[in-house]
Every structure is written in structure tokens, then in C-alpha cells.
Amino acid sequence: MTTEPSPRPHWRRLPAGIWALGFVSMLMDVSSEMIHALLPVYLTLGLGATALAVGVIEGVAEATAAITKVFSGALSDRIGRRKELAAIGYGLAAVTKPVFPLAPTLGWVVAARFVDRVGKGIRGAPRDALVADLAPPGLTGAAFGLRQSLDTLGAFLGPLAAIGLMWLFADDFRKVFWVAVIPAFLALALILFAVEEPARPADLRRVRNPLSRGELGLLGGVYWWVVVVATLFTLARFSEAFLILRAQGTGVPVMLVPLVLVGMNAVYALSAWPVGALSDRIGRVGLLLCGLGLLVVADLCLALSPGLAGIALGILIWGLHMGFTQGILSALIAETVPAELRGTAFGMFNLVTGVALLAASVTAGALWEAQGAAATFLAGAGFAAIAALALLPLGRRLDGPGDRGRQK
């Protein structure tokens, strides 16, 4: 009696292009997070910015990226190519990295952050659509989970490198920022030479105006409900800059402040891929609900804990909630829209959630200034609970294992 060979593990069934895109994301995140881990403290201590100013800067930067994603995603649908636009975005981010160590004033830092996020906006939607195009059937969650895990591994290694370099360079921010330039250019080289875009299927419909009312209508009701849920969720999870400020407020030395992002992203990186793969088998909505519950717990820890141990626990749970949500949301977007409109779908998704992040970060900064840290995180917990309620109807409108398939 012969037996069927056991199926290969999901990580071996993912094509090399998805792995390469994951390592591109990892290298760019190493670069970006080396800077981002120190930037809130550099802005407040080195350049005299307030917590409200940090919130505005972070919100505007991310909203800029989100707006740009709409047009780059739609353009990738119109021309039927993704890689070139993603490479342009990574290239723009790489060439702006040297501005951070050279910037003499707050205005220069804001400008550099703005242009860097334009690069992120250009690459984001085409890259995510390319992941969806490369993903084998039934492995969409695993594909996005892998990319998210490698991306977040970079967000773990970047702050860790920042800590070591701050010690090595005696708290010299600018020298650390110079080192951050190197992995950015390595990421650019990798996407140029190691990522191959699949041939466009001959029977795939050509899209002339992806942002027209008719084409946006083809995205479907389930897609737009996912966007609504993600928007509420984004209002609950403002910029991680406020995690850094919360830790600093407990007396953590400046050199060790990047440990906030190290701990958060370590948990995020370890959880995103297995959670994504699990969602392919048991469904996505239940895992998203778990993620929102984790966010509520994290916010309560950060709001109510008086000591460093409680703050650290809240930060780690924050990272776990990211692992339970970010890759799954991307998989839902990829699976609920026509293949020829994936770039537009990711672009619109990022536009709406980016505007929500701007509102969340500004509101968080204002609450922090007026009422303190506790009010900021309690408000986040409230929005997370609302997002969970909005998520419940979505489960009834999706099909089968992994919530795969189109709308009912």
C-alpha cells in the first residue's frame, strides 16, 4: 500500500520572489528603524520639539505615504507592472537617508521624513500587489505573514543596532544616522537584481482608469467593509513614537530607549508568519478579533501601569497584536478584489488608514499634552473595542477556510 507524500511545509512552497521581497523590506526597515527609534528623542531633546509636534510630524509623514500609495497602486494596475514602481520607491527612500545626519534644524528633519515617506508611499501598494501576484493559491496568508515577519525582523534589528551604535558613538545621533544609510542601499540593490515579476496573464482584464467610479465599485462591498474595520483599528493604534515617549517617561536612559521597538518588533516578527499561515487554515476574522483584544490589553497596561515592568508588558503585547492583524488585513485585501485591481485596492486601503493614522497621532499628541499618557492609551483601547464590534459582521460575509474566496 502506497502512501501520499506529505505536503511540503508552507515556507518551502513560497516562491523565491516573496522571500526576496521580504529581505528587501527587512533591509529597508533596518535602516528606517535605526533612525525612527531615536527620532522622537532627538526631536524632543536635541531640537526642542513637543510631544504634540512629534505626533503631528509622524501623522503627516505617514499620511503622505498613504496618499502616494493610491496613485502608485493605481498606476501599477494601469501599466500592468509592479516591480519598477516598487524599486523607484525604495530608491527614493535610500537617497534621502543621508539627509537625516546632515540636517541642521527641525525643518530639515521634517522635510527628510516627508520625502522618505513619499518613497514608502510609491513602493507600498505595488509591492503588496506583487506579493499577492506571486503567492500560490491557498498561501496568501503565509505569503503576507512571511513578508511581514521579515519586514518586522528589520524593525527589530534596526533599534538593536541603534542601541549598540549609540553606546559606541557616545550618544552621537548623527553618526548612527550615517550608518543607517548602508542597509537602505542594499535593499535597493536587492529589489533591482533579485526580484522577478511574473508575466501578466493574457486573459487578465486591462484597466484604463483604476480610480474611476466604476472601477472602484468593482472592488466590492466586502473590501470596503474591511477598509472600515481597518480605519477604526488604525484610530486605536497611533504611532509607535508614543510607546517610546511612554518608556522615556519612566526614566529609561536615552541610549536604551530603542529597546522599546526591539521588544515590540521581536514579538511582532515571531508571530506574524505563523499567524498568517494559521489564518489560511482556520480563517482570518477570528484571529483579527484576537488581535484587537490584545490591543485593548496592551493599551490598558500602558495606561494604568505605574512602573517599568507593566509598561514593558504592554509594549510586548502591542507587538503581539500587530502580528495577529497586519498580515491578515493585507491577505483580506488581496483576496476580496479582482486581481487586476489589487494595486488600486492596496492604495485606497492605505490612503484611508493613513488619514486615520494622521488623526490618531495628532489626537494622541493633544491628549498627551492635555491629560497625560493614561488618557492617550485609554482612548486607544476604546477605539479598539469599537473596531472589534465592526469586525463581527465581516465573518458572515466571507467564505470558507482562510476566509478565502470572493464575496457571498
The model's pLDDT over 39-93, given as tens digits with 9 standing for 90+, comes to: 777 777 666 666 667 667 766 776 677 678 788 888 889 888 889 999 999 999 9
Choice between 234 and 297, residue whose per-residue pLDDT is larger: 297
Question: Is pLDDT at 370 greater than 60 in this prediction?
Answer: yes
- 250's CB contacts (< 8 A; 6+ apart) are 307, 308, 311
Least confident of 119-123, 177-181, 353-357, 377-381: 353-357
For 200, which DSSP code? P
Question: What is the rounded radius of gyration, in angstroms, for the C-alpha atoms of the chain?
Answer: 20
Q: What is the dihedral of CA 316, 317, 319, 320, to 10 degrees?
A: 130
Separation between Cα atoms, residue 8 and residue 402, nearest integer Å: 19
Across residues 15-33, what is the average pLDDT? 91
In this prediction, residue 62 carries a pLDDT of 67
pLDDT at 296: 92
Where residue 397 falls among pLDDT bands split at 50, 70, 90? low
Residues contacting residue 220 through CB under 8 Å, at least 6 positions apart: 336, 337, 406, 407
Residues ≥6 apart with Cβ < 8 Å to 79: none
- More confident: 319 or 5: 319
pLDDT for 182: 94
Q: Which residues of 270-308 are buried (b: 16+ CB within 10 A; e: fewer)?
A: bbbbebbbbbbeebbbebbbbbbbbbbbbbbbbbebeee
Amino acid of residue 208:
R
C-alpha cell at 79: 501599466
Contact by Cβ (8 Å): 404, 319: no
- Does position 399 have pLDDT exceeding 50, yes or no? no
pLDDT classification of 260: cutoffs 50, 70, 90: confident
pLDDT value of residue 127: 92
Contact indicator for 113, 57 with CB cutoff of 8 Å:
yes
Kindly tell me the sign of the dihedral angle through the C-alpha atoms of 359, 364, 366, 370: positive
Q: Global pTM?
A: 0.78
Report whether 165 contacts 174 (CB < 8 A).
no
C-alpha cell, 397: 460575509
Q: Name the grid cell of 283.
A: 480563517
Query: Residue 190: its pLDDT value, please?
Result: 93
Among 194-208, 283-297, 390-404, name the one with the lowest average pLDDT: 390-404
Burial class (CB in 10 A: 0-12, 13-18, 19+), 12: exposed
More confident position, 44 or 268: 268
- Concatenated DSSP letters for 182-197? HHHHHHHHHHHHH--P
169 in Cβ contact with 255 (< 8 Å): no
Q: How many Å apart are CA 253 and CA 245, to the nearest integer? A: 12
> Could you tell me the three cell numbers for 230?
481597518
CA atoms within 13 A on the CB side of 236: 28
**Distance between CA atoms of residues 361 and 367, nearest Å:** 10
- Ordered structural domains, the chain, with CATH: 14-197+211-403 (1.20.1250.20)
Average pLDDT estimate for 91-118: 82
Residue 363 has pLDDT above 50, yes or no: yes
What CA–CA distance (Å, rounded) separates 120 from 357?
15
The pLDDT of residue 405 is 44
In the structure grid, which three cell numbers stand for residue 216, read together? 472602484
More confident residue, 41 or 142: 142
Grouping H, G, I as helix, E, B as strand and the rest as coil, residue 139 is: coil
Phi, psi of 15 (to 5 degrees): -70, 160
| Torsion angles phi and psi, residue 251, rounded to 5 | 100, 15
Query: Using CA atoms, how far apart are residues 273 and 114, in angstroms rounded to an integer?
Result: 30
Q: Is the pLDDT of residue 11 over 70?
A: no
Cell of residue 169, nine digits: 558613538
Region at 238 (left for phi over 0; alpha for psi -120 to 50; beta for the rest): beta
